[in-house]
Amino acid sequence: MSFVEYGDTIKDGDTAIVFLGHESMFPVKVQHGTVTQTKYGVIRHSTDLIGKKYGSKVTCSKGGWVFILHPTPELWTMNLPHRTQILYSTDISIITMMLELKPGSIVCESGTGSGSLSHAVIRTVAPTGHLYTVEFHQQRAEKAREEFREHGVEHLVTVTNQDVCKNGFGVSNIADAVFLDIPSPWEAIGHAKSALKAEGGRICSFSPCIEQVQRTCLAMEECGFTEINTLEILLRVYNVRTISLQIPDLGKATEDNSSIGFDSSNPSNQGSLSANLQQGSVQFKSGVPLREMVGHTGYLTFATKS
């Protein structure tokens, strides 16, 4: 099993996604002799998982069933253990596009955090590219290194435990793109410039506060970056509902009432007129936005090394 190469069958040691529903799923490490508890009953790894095909429908001990899915960066983003706040698919998609990532790209990242963006970048630059990711926190760096090894992508990523603002990325003039997700990105702009290739490299900085963006943009200008722009990506989800609307009366009822001497100004006749205008309704499907939505996540500032 690898996050960048699809495998047909579930093997001992794989990371798989147990899918109970669109709002309920979780990762599990497949191990011989281990069981996993769900609300539908027990899943026995030895008999229910190992050797079965990914995507199989597995019946639990209580008679309920789940699907076992092959892991992808998208599924991992929704199910990973949170060690830090993470980037989600809305921001990740624009980052990979605006940084112009493709197979073979060399990318520098700081900080690694929970590895949400890291997995997406690795999948994008595989099989010949490489990710150099820097994490200040030692335990988080060690855990990320362990996860990359378990997910079969350790040959595509190098994890370094150091302060990027003081020590940089450990590489020079080779990166096609740099991504910063740290509290003070303006302190790392100089190191980012040193890591980027001689000309045309792209940089992105993610910051939740506009004051951070302002200082980062000033640092980018001082270091000679061009095409500096900041984006905020907002996701608006729609629910499909069945709604009912009255059939409009285009005047026929009024004409009919007039022809028989119907006095609409008489209060006693108002109820009868209303009944005629509301003779029927029609139901149809409509997209309705959620009453509450996930709004601001952060600002994405992009620039190009000139």
Cα-based torsion angle of the residue sequence 29, 35, 39, 41 in order, rounded to the nearest 10 degrees: 140
Which residues belong to the annotated binding site for S-adenosyl-L-methionine? 114-117, 135, 163, 181
Residue 301's contacts (CB-CB under 8 Å, 6 or more residues apart) are: 204, 205, 207, 213, 216, 217, 220, 228, 229, 230, 231
Which residues belong to the annotated binding site? 114-117, 135, 163, 181
Query: What does the alpha-carbon distance between residue 27 and residue 64 come to, in Å, rounded to a whole number?
Result: 18
